[in-house]
Amino acid sequence: MALGVSLAAASVVQFAPAVACHAPAVCDLLSLRRRLPDAGTVALTFDDGPHAQGTAQVLALLATHEAKATFFLVGEQVRRLPALAREIADAGHAIGLHGDTHRCELRLTPRALRDDRARGLDTIHAATGVLPVIHRPPYGAASGPGIALARRARLETVLWSRWGRDWRAAASADTVVEDVTRKGSLGGDIVLLHDADHYAAPQSFRATVAALPRILARCAEQGLAAVTL
């Protein structure tokens, strides 16, 4: 019985954090950031890049609207497009780590996860000059060991309070805008979007690009400043 209890407890430690992105109470219990302290701001975040088309278009739109955002980059994509990764940093946007290979950390041993993150950090630093201090686990699926490793490495785990579900084949500009804005004011929210389709439905980034001006306009209407994490 004792062994069974121990195994059950270990499973909770390993897998319970994975639901934090869908369960605010779990997120708060684990002290994972999902919102901003200032209700007069909003943080738009973009995962999975850089992407030759999607990232470039998102950067252009952000510049037009004089807005700042945070990009959670994947090491293997940075190695393909280091100059574009540098462009993100040079434009004054924040950069976080989204893993080196976009593998779900629930499937990685602590050692493999540590090595994956280390390579991702080294890659991003070499390309951009920025050493990230924030990270978001791929798929938002944090693990107990992953959170512990991040804290030892002084990496803050950041999730989100709203998302555009823009990775889906069925996503359109209308659905992305609706998903992001339907709960009223975006004040204090961290919004999850994707500027790439490397790990999503092909061409799904186009829905994000088409939705972004309308999301930024809604933020402006609400008097919110789009800030970095």
CA distance 87 to 49: 12
Residue-wise pLDDT for 69-88, tens only, equals 999 999 999 999 999 999 99
Q: What is the pLDDT of residue 17?
A: 77
Which CATH number does the domain housing residue 160 bear? Answer: 3.20.20.370
For the chain, the domain total comes to 1
pLDDT digits (tens, 9 = 90+) for 135-161: 999 999 999 999 999 999 999 999 999
What mean pLDDT is predicted for residues 14-30? 75
> In the predicted model, is pLDDT for residue 224 greater than 70?
yes
Q: What is the pLDDT of residue 2?
A: 41
User: Tens of pLDDT along 75-127?
Assistant: 999 999 999 999 999 999 999 999 999 999 999 999 999 999 999 999 999 99
The answer to whether 83 touches 58, Cβ cutoff 8 Å, is: no
Residues 6+ apart with CB under 8 A from 36: 42, 43, 188, 189, 190, 227
- What pLDDT is attached to residue 178? 98
Give the sign of the dihedral formed by CA 77, CA 79, CA 80, CA 84.
positive
Looking at per-residue pLDDT, the higher value among 56 and 31 belongs to 56
CB 135 within 8 A of CB 96: yes
Angle at 53 between CA 70 and CA 138, to 5 degrees: 45
Residue 228 near residue 93, CB atoms below 8 Å: yes
Domain that holds residue 115: 2-226
